Structure 1
Amino acid sequence: MSEKLHQVLIRPLITEKVTSLRESGNTVAFVVSSRANRVEVRRAVESLLKVKVERVNILNVMGKTKRLGRFVGKKQDWKKALVTLKAGEKLELYESV
């Protein structure tokens, strides 16, 4: 494995869209390392959070271009993982939010 499990998951992603996915489809989202793949994300979620994973979808999110007057900058690119949990599984991490 290229990275340790605790370095794969950076932080949970909490937005309105992810909240509706969590309520309807038992799907949670994480910001993950840019070098992580589906297998590493699955292993990290199952071992660190003690839940069973059904499916993992990975998206590369491109950073937005920002301007300040004549100067142009760019926000950092990042990777998002949508993790679908098996039926009956719950993640207490999101229950307290």
Structure 2
Amino acid sequence: MADLKYYDVILKPVITERSMEGMGEKKYTFYVHTDATKGQIKEAVEKMFAGAKVARVNTMNLDGKSRRRGNTVGKTAKRKKAIVQLTADSADIEIFQGL
């Protein structure tokens, strides 16, 4: 397994209609490193965002899609997505505030 630092774990936030609906329940969605564990994701969120306390982390592995360009067939990169549930007394994550 790769030696991941907390700042390498979270790649970018997921901005979709479904992820925006979850923000009302303090659920935030991120693309994370494919080798990251739930414990590492929890640690990364709590260190990167001040005042955030993680209650639960759900992860899902997304396989790459098949793509064709002419006669050549390939696959896109696989990804991992994490849905982070914050506690009720936790501070909100600020990068989502203006959306």
Shift of 1:26: 1.4
Q: Structure 1 regions of 5+ residues with no counterpart?
A: none
Q: Structure 2 regions of 5+ residues with no counterpart?
A: none
SS of aligned partner of 1:55: strand
- Partners of 1:94 and 1:88 lie apart in 2 by 18
Matched residue type, 1:45:
V
Report what 2:98 is aligned to. 96
Report what 1:32 is aligned to. 32
State the 4+ residue runs in structure 1 displaced beyond 4 angstroms.
Answer: none
Report what 2:42 is aligned to. 42
Q: What TM-score does the superposition give when structure 1 sets the normalisation length?
A: 0.91
Report what 2:22 is aligned to. 21
Where do residues 47-66 of structure 1 align in structure 2 (5 Å cutoff)? 47-50=47-50, 51-66=52-67
Q: Percent identity?
A: 33
Q: What TM-score does the superposition give when structure 2 sets the normalisation length?
A: 0.89
Q: How many residues align?
A: 96
Cα RMSD over matched residues? Answer: 1.4
- Partners of 2:5 and 2:47 lie apart in 1 by 12
